[in-house]
């Protein structure tokens, strides 16, 4: 196998090689290679339904690949035992698309949750840490609110504070910009970049929002139909010659990616032929 | 934290109520002999046959309950049943020549001991024995006797 | 015809598969139970949600079931002049059957459905998944305390139910029906055996508590993560728990009193 060479490189935090993954009959990934470098913000982009979220779950060890390898922080993720996997996960944070806040806990308790679960810190210290994390996302004043009282953007920021509570090395963002108004989108964009640089994180952003992602990413992987179509810095991708990447990066309605989902022709369907 | 405290108190109430209910079921409803606390004095009675008499069955005089059956044992030497009853403290003027019988309340009800007061001026003391007793009527024996006599008269 | 058999076979395999997954799930959750000694707060929280919040319905139902039993039993017993046995009738029916069974059925409707819906929604909103990514095992953190709390709550609820039922029957007998209260209690005390009746009832409700909480948490975790999936899982919890309780009750009764 070729993958033994790659993770010798200390700069590569996440190394995905020849990854294959199927869900039932559907092939999601068919030989994907992604390298995520330490300290960078890496974006995984592609149209909806290309399995970007699935990739994050494979990195986090929540799903098992059918073939290929996933190395994270030097660990061979699919082969980790349950305990080792959980130890590794303490060093990563993940921001879910829905926020996934615990609805029965207040904002403060949500952020305190990982600290309480994984540390034996005294209560005053936990309080200070939580307030610092909330300060970092600008929501220290909302600590006593319940998740149901928060707007979508605020919920996501609380979730972000919770994800960085244990000072992870790797942060994964699942569609952080989806469904946000322009202001909270701007807030999140700058937060991701600022946190990455200030805390010395390595970030993976999964998104299909081209403009916002391109603003903060150091490197972009574009995935389509189970493969990495193109990768490089935002500038390189913008100048790409590939018709597909052009369509995606410049948001053209039609191109190599057809407007229509594959099916029988309209004529056949209307006439009831099969 | 105040909310947490209320929850804890409620759970405490719940668990206490649950155990109190269990305790109540054990004490009030079922017959754990250890916890019986009828205050009174014990008197022994001998019967040839106690029938379906049970421990804790009532002991009555003139139809009024004055005590309970404490224990029922077999005397291995005389092959009869020794029934110990506890009579409540306040009924301490029961004549010594009182007689006892085992009756059934209603046709299918439980069996109890009825005391019939005698006439002496001497009263029962704790540990005394009532000499005059009448055993329980055993239904099968009665029917058996009835059937045999029927058969004989038919011949 | 062939298709019918095929369908039947598939249904059977599906059910067996569910049972297998459910058992695997249960074993994983049980492994997490001993660790709860270190986190009693989690169990207390669930005792509140499962036990305390079910108290009201148990108190009301228990009292009324006892009162109705007394009324109905009196009408029958009075024909035989055996109304003194009313206490026995009420106590034995409650302790052996109605207490554990009705409590379990009410538990399924009140606490079981709530458990399934809560866990199902936590799954739907990615809270369980999020917990896993925070390196917290949801089976240990979320499932195990609920399982334990359900198991502990059931016998306590059943005891409260039976006790209040007998009290309700006593009030109706003594004050409305004119049954002699002395013989009500003494006959009951003479006929009810602590081990035979009270303890067997407690054992029954421990079994029911275990099964009812298992079904509730499993259905929650197994729910399809959509609002329709959660509602279907909730219904399944109530139906499956009721069937399981009634079936197990038959088996347990046959073993204990047969």
| Burial class of A114 by CB neighbour count within 10 A (0 to 12, 13 to 18, 19+) | buried
Q: How many other C-beta atoms lie within 10 A of the C-beta of residue A248?
A: 24
The last residue of one of the domains, among A116, A144, A167, is: A167
- State whether A151 and A216 are in the same domain: no
Are A17 and A78 in a shared domain?
yes
- Determine the average pLDDT of the residues in A219-232: 83
In this prediction, residue B34 carries a pLDDT of 46
The verdict on a CB contact (< 8 Å) between C190 and B55 is: yes
pLDDT on residue C248: 93
A251-265, B106-120, C25-39, C48-62: the lowest-pLDDT one: A251-265
Cross-chain residue pair C126–A117, CB shorter than 8 Å: no
- Minimum mean pLDDT range among A154-158, A214-218, B50-54, C111-115: B50-54
Identify whether residues A17 and A153 lie together within a single domain.
Answer: no
Q: How far apart are CA C33 and CA C169, in angstroms?
A: 39
Minimum distance, in Å, between the CA of residue C156 and any CA atom of chain A: 26
Residue C219: per-residue pLDDT = 92
Whether the complex's predicted ipTM is more than 0.85 is answered with no
Q: What is the model's pLDDT at position A2?
A: 41
Q: Identify whether residues A34 and A74 lie together within a single domain.
A: yes
Q: Give the tens place of pLDDT for each residue, A59-111.
A: 888 888 888 888 888 888 888 888 888 888 888 888 888 778 888 888 999 99
Together in a domain, A5 and A68: yes
Q: Quick one: A5 and A73 in the same domain?
A: yes
- Kindly state whether residue A70 falls inside one of the protein's structural domains: yes
- The answer to whether residue C175 scores a pLDDT higher than 80 is yes
> Is A182 within a domain?
no
Of C129, C136, C137, which is closest to A100 when you measure between CB atoms?
C129
CA distances (Å), origin A115, targets A64, A98, A126, A163? 28, 21, 7, 11
**A87 and A7: one domain?**
yes
Are A56 and A137 within one domain?
Answer: no
User: Can you give the pLDDT at residue A33?
Assistant: 86
Residue A191 belongs to a domain: no
- Residue A187 is assigned to a structural domain of this protein: no
What digits encode the pLDDT tens for the residues C56-105? Answer: 999 999 999 999 999 999 988 888 877 788 888 899 999 999 999 999 99
What is the SS3 assignment for A172? strand
Domain that includes residue A103, residue range: 98-167
* CB pairs < 8 Å spanning B and C: 111
Residues A77 and A160 in one domain: no
Residues 6+ apart with CB under 8 A from A94: A56, A60, A163, A171, A172, A173, A174, C130, C133
Q: Touching check for C197 and chain B: CB below 8 Å?
A: yes
Specify the CATH number for the domain of residue A246.
3.40.50.300
- CB-based contacts of C109-112 (< 8 A; 24+ apart in sequence): C109/C238, C110/C53, C110/C54, C110/C57, C111/C49, C111/C50, C111/C51, C111/C53, C111/C54, C111/C150, C111/C153, C111/C212, C111/C216, C112/C150, C112/C212, C112/C213, C112/C215, C112/C216, C112/C237, C112/C238, C112/C241
Q: What is the pLDDT of residue A256?
A: 67
| Same domain membership, residue A82 and residue A129 | no
Burial C130-158 (b: 16+ CB within 10 A, else e): bbbbbbbbbbbbbbbbbbbbbbbbbbbbb
- A18 in a structural domain: yes
Residue A216 lies in a domain: yes
Q: Which residues of chain C are within 8 Å of residue B18 when distances are taken between CB atoms? A: 51, 155-157, 159-160
Q: Is A43 contained in some domain?
A: yes
Substitution target from B4, B6, B11 for chain C, most C beta carbons within 10 A: B11
Task: Please report, in angstroms and rounded to a whole number, the separation of the first and last CA atoms in chain A.
Answer: 46
Residue A32 lies in a domain: yes
Q: What is the mean pLDDT of residues A216-235?
A: 83
Q: What's the pLDDT at C203?
A: 93
Rounded to two decimals, the pTM is 0.75
- From chain A, pick out residues whose CB is under 8 angstroms from the CB of C136: 113-114, 117-118
Q: Are residue A2 and residue A87 in the same domain, yes or no?
A: yes
Q: In the structure, what pLDDT confidence band is assigned to residue B86 with cuts at 50, 70 and 90? A: confident
Q: Which residue of B has its CA nearest to C85?
A: B109
Chains with ≥3 Cβ pairs under 8 A against C? A, B
On the question of pLDDT at A254 being above 50, the answer is yes
Give the model's confidence band at B1: pLDDT under 50 very low, under 70 low, under 90 confident, else very high: low
* 8 Å CB contact of C132 and A89: yes
The residue that leads in pLDDT, A179 or A61, is A61
Please tell me whether residues A5 and A86 are part of one structural domain: yes
* Lowest mean pLDDT across A5-9, A112-116, B58-62: A5-9
pLDDT at site A5: 43
Residues of A with CB under 8 A from a CB of C: 60, 62, 86-90, 92-94, 96-98, 100-103, 113-114, 117-118, 159, 162-163, 166
CB contact under 8 A, B11 and C47: yes
* Mutant choice from B21, B32, B112 vs C, greatest count of C C-beta within 10 A: B21
Residues A1-12: pLDDT tens digits? Answer: 444 444 456 778
Q: For chain A, what is the domain count?
A: 2
Looking at residue A142, its pLDDT comes to: 84
Q: Nearest residue on chain B to C191, judged by CA atoms?
A: B30
pLDDT in tens, B35-46: 445 678 888 988
Over the range C241-253, which residues count as b (16 or more CB within 10 Å of their CB) and which as e? bbebbeebbeebb
pLDDT at C236 over 90: yes
């Amino acid at each position: 196998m070729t993958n033994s060479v790659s993770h010798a490189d200390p700069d590569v935090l996440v190394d995905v090689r020849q990854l294959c993954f199927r869900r039932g009959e559907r092939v999601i990934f068919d030989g994907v290679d992604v390298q995520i470098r330490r300290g960078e913000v890496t974006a995984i982009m592609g149209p909806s339904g290309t399995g970007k979220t699935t990739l994050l779950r494979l990195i986090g060890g929540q799903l098992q690949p059918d073939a290929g390898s996933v190395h994270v922080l030097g660990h061979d993720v699919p082969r980790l035992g349950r305990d080792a996997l959980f130890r590794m996960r303490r060093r990563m944070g993940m921001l879910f698309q829905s926020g996934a806040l615990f609805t029965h806990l207040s904002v403060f308790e949500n952020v305190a949750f990982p600290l309480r679960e994984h540390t034996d810190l005294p209560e005053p210290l936990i309080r200070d840490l939580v307030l610092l994390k909330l300060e970092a996302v600008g929501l220290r004043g909302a600590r006593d609110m319940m998740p149901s009282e928060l707007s979508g953007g605020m919920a996501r920021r609380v979730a972000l504070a919770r994800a960085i509570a244990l000072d992870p090395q790797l942060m994964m963002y699942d569609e952080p910009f989806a469904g946000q108004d322009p202001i909270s989108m701007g807030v999140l964009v700058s937060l991701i970049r600022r946190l990455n640089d200030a805390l010395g994180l390595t970030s993976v952003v999964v998104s299909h929002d081209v403009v916002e992602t391109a603003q903060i990413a150091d490197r972009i992987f574009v995935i389509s139909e189970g493969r990495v179509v193109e990768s490089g810095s935002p500038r390189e991708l913008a100048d790409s010659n590939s018709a597909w990447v052009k369509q995606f990066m410049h948001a053209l309605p039609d191109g190599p990616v057809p407007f229509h989902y594959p099916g029988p022709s309209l004529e056949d369907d209307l006439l009831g032929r099969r | 934290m105040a909310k947490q405290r209320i929850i804890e108190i409620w759970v405490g109430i719940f668990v206490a109520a649950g155990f109190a209910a269990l305790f109540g079921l054990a004490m009030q409803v079922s017959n754990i002999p250890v916890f019986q606390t009828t205050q009174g004095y014990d008197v022994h009675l001998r019967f040839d046959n106690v029938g379906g008499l049970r421990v804790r069955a009532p002991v009555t005089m003139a139809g009024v309950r004055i005590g309970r059956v404490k224990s029922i044992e077999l005397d291995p030497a005389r092959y009869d049943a020794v029934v110990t009853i506890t009579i409540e403290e306040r009924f301490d003027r029961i004549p010594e020549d009182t007689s006892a019988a085992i009756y059934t309340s209603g046709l299918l009800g439980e069996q109890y001991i009825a005391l019939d007061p005698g006439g002496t001026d001497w009263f029962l003391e704790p540990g005394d024995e009532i000499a005059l007793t009448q055993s329980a009527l055993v239904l099968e024996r009665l029917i058996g006797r009835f059937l045999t006599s029927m058969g004989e008269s038919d011949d | 015809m062939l298709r019918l058999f095929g369908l039947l076979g598939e249904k059977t395999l599906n059910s067996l598969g569910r049972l297998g997954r459910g058992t695997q799930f249960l074993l994983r959750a049980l492994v997490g139970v001993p660790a709860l000694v270190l986190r009693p707060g989690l169990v207390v929280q669930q005792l509140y949600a499962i036990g305390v919040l079910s108290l009201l319905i148990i108190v009301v139902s228990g009292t009324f079931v006892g009162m109705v039993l007394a009324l109905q039993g009196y009408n029958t017993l009075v024909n035989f002049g055996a109304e003194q046995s009313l206490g026995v009738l009420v106590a034995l029916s409650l302790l052996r059957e109605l207490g554990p069974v009705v409590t379990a059925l009410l538990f399924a409707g009140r606490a079981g459905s709530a458990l399934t819906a809560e866990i199902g929604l936590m799954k739907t909103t990615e809270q369980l998944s999020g917990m896993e990514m925070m390196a917290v095992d949801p089976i240990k953190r979320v499932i195990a305390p609920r399982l334990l709390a359900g198991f502990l709550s059931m016998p306590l609820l059943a005891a409260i139910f039976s006790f209040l039922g007998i009290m309700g029957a006593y009030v109706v007998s003594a004050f409305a029906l004119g049954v002699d209260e002395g013989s009500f209690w003494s006959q009951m005390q003479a006929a009810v055996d602590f081990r035979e009746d009270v303890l067997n009832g407690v054992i029954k409700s421990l079994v029911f508590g275990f099964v009812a909480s298992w079904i509730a948490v499993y259905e929650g975790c197994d729910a399809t993560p959509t609002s329709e999936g959660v509602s279907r899982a909730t219904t399944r919890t109530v139906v499956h728990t009721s069937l399981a309780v009634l079936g197990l009750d038959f088996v347990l009764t046959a073993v204990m009193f047969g």
